[in-house]
């Protein structure tokens, strides 16, 4: 992507992004531009939408495509789950499996399952299973303990 930086002597600072198609690179810049506002860009039926971090219930990768789920909608994003994890780099979001990131604030109740797994019931009634690989880290986060990388 070509970019131009220009210093101006008067007027308001401005950032203009010109693109033909929304791709990973463009979306990463958009995410960066929206970062202070804690917003994401998602697409639904070829229409772009701005999604508040606070509205995200969880994000999931299915067949190498990443989807963002809110209470009412599902949006596609060009970002990979790892890139999304970096963008959503707040304490509220937790990688609960290889293919999923969950918003802890949107969990209604938790249930302890056999083999140290955890069933998280979201506020919209959906259930997400946190496998034992991720469960111990999840417990530490809930307790506010630091987690080793």
Q: Which of 85, 105, 126, 137 binds other proteins (CB under 8 A)?
A: 105
Distance CA 81, CA 90 (A): 15
Q: Which of 11, 115, 125, 146 binds other proteins (CB under 8 A)?
A: 115
Q: Which is nearer to other proteins, 65 or 132 (CB)?
A: 132
CB of 51 to other proteins, least distance (A): 19
Residue 110 binding other proteins, by CB under 8 A: yes
- Cβ pair 75, 68 in contact under 8 A: yes
Residue 98 binding other proteins, by CB under 8 A: no
Distance CA 108, CA 110 (A): 7
Name, in order, each residue with C-beta under 8 angstroms of 113's C-beta and a sequence gap of 6 or more: 119, 129
β-strand 39-44 against 47-52: which pairing, if any? antiparallel
Q: Which is nearer to other proteins, 43 or 80 (CB)?
A: 80
Using CB under 8 A as the criterion, which residues of the chain lie in contact with other proteins when the complex forms?
91-92, 104-105, 107, 109-116, 118, 132-133, 139, 141-144
């Amino acid at each position: 992507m070509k970019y131009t930086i220009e210093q101006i002597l008067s007027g308001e600072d401005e950032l203009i992004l010109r693109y033909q198609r929304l791709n990973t690179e463009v979306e990463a810049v958009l995410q960066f531009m929206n970062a202070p506002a804690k917003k994401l860009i998602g697409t639904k039926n070829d229409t772009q939408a701005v999604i508040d971090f606070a509205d995200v219930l969880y994000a999931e990768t299915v067949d190498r495509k990443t989807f963002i789920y809110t209470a009412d909608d599902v949006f596609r994003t060009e970002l990979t789950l790892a890139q999304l994890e970096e963008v959503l780099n707040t304490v509220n979001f937790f990688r609960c499996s290889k293919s999923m990131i969950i918003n802890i604030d949107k969990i209604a109740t938790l249930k302890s399952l056999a083999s140290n797994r955890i069933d998280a019931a979201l506020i919209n009634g959906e259930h997400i299973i946190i496998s034992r690989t991720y469960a111990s880290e999840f417990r530490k986060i809930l307790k506010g303990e630091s987690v080793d990388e």
